[in-house]
Amino acid sequence: MSSLTWPGDERAGRLFSDGALIAAMVRVEAAWLAALIDAGIADPDAAVSEPVLSGFAGDDDVGGLAAASESGGNPVIPLVALLRERLGDGHATAARWLHRGLTSQDVLDTALMLCARDAVAQVRADLHVQLGTLVRLADAHRETLMVARTLTQHAVPTTFGAKAAAWGRGLADAAVDAAALAYPVQLGGAAGTLAASVELARLTGATDPVATAGRLVEHTAEALALHVRDPWHTERAPVTRLADALVRCTDAWGRIANDVLVLSRPEVAELAEPAVDGRGGSSTMPQKTNPVLSTLVRRAALSAPQLAATVHLASADAVDERPAGAWHAEWPALQTLARRAVVASSQAGELLTGLQVHPERMRATLEAALPGVLAERDALAELVGPSEDPTEDPTADPLTGYLGVADRLVDDLLTRHAAPDGGGTR
């Protein structure tokens, strides 16, 4: 995919694309049909493998299904009709049993979970690599002095290692949230009671129809490698948690991008983006090399919270046993948020991998800020009195003597990253 209004969208590839969503919906239908057969509800002649069923709908059908979706309000209705038509006489029993016991929301919500899981898996893989990059960067620059800035002004001395460690903590926290996500099936039938499944089980002679309906859910979840959960038609925590985790990621990348944007200004020049031929040019000013990666990552960080807000608003507006409008507003918000997070993840990884650090410029800026950057230290000395530490070296560099726990912050990131869970605690 590509988008003129979202440069870099192709980095997300097929993840959570319309074609991927169609494929996921077909997977759900195939898994449920197999579960009906395994439970003895559907005729064994209804069996059709997922690859075969997937061959009846794909990327070429996106336009047609999108247009047909308007009449029913969702893409599942025309997809089921299309699959039944294409199953035709060759798979007549499968066409008859396809989708029985399900409702549109079951199929679409479960498919959204499948697509979201794939997108988050890519983000998690990227975060792991990015954290490794920041660990190395922080360790290599634990003694690289620079000025800390607060409210845009010079504050006190710090190190670039401590700044990189702070970036790393943000990414590690985001990784924790992403790892904690659950991806449940949504299988509740028309009103979230599995009434049709129970009735099908009863009509086909099940000794315990309720238990049989439960096994349908379990078998489908197992086939899709998703979690079992009671129907959540109007309990949207699985979706809001997804949105929140993705925003936590874009927040963390945005913070890094903002720092790079500030520190790569020509008058600061302490950092620079990776040098790539043809990137960062201006349409009219040939002297410019714009920090494009940071700009695009910041763009994602600025737009992601609004998409998540739509998901939360939809959750708060859920009503009855299945909502009208609120549920529908979730789909594009979640799809767009997930794709944009994947794109930002790729761009942030490239930014960090090739980030150029200029220690000499950092040191020069810090020294030029003297004596102001040590004003806090001097005020404390005036309050308490001269140091009586006999080991204190009066000839030592005063800038290295007011770094607090900067070195330990680097060590903490290294320790966290080396933990068995990869820093899964905070």
Q: What are 90's two structure tokens?
A: 């060759």
127 contact partners, CB below 8 Å, separation of at least 6: 171, 174, 175, 178, 249, 345
CA pair distance 299, 284, nearest whole angstrom? 22
422 contact partners, CB below 8 Å, separation of at least 6: 128, 131, 175
Cβ count within 10 A of residue 39:
18
- For residue 378, give Cα distances in angstroms to 147, 396, 399, 402, 413: 17, 16, 12, 10, 30
What torsion, rounded to 10 degrees, do the Cα atoms 295, 131, 277, 365 define? 70
E strand or H helix that includes residue 147: strand 145-150
* Catalytic machinery residues: 282, 322
For residue 145, list its beta bridge partners.
159
CA pair distance 238, 245, nearest whole angstrom? 11
Contact 296/279 with Cβ under 8 angstroms?
Answer: no
CA pair distance 406, 336, nearest whole angstrom? 38
Check residue 275 and report its DSSP letter.
P
CA pair distance 272, 296, nearest whole angstrom? 15
Contact 189/196 with Cβ under 8 angstroms?
Answer: yes
CA 220 from chain center: how many Å?
A: 25
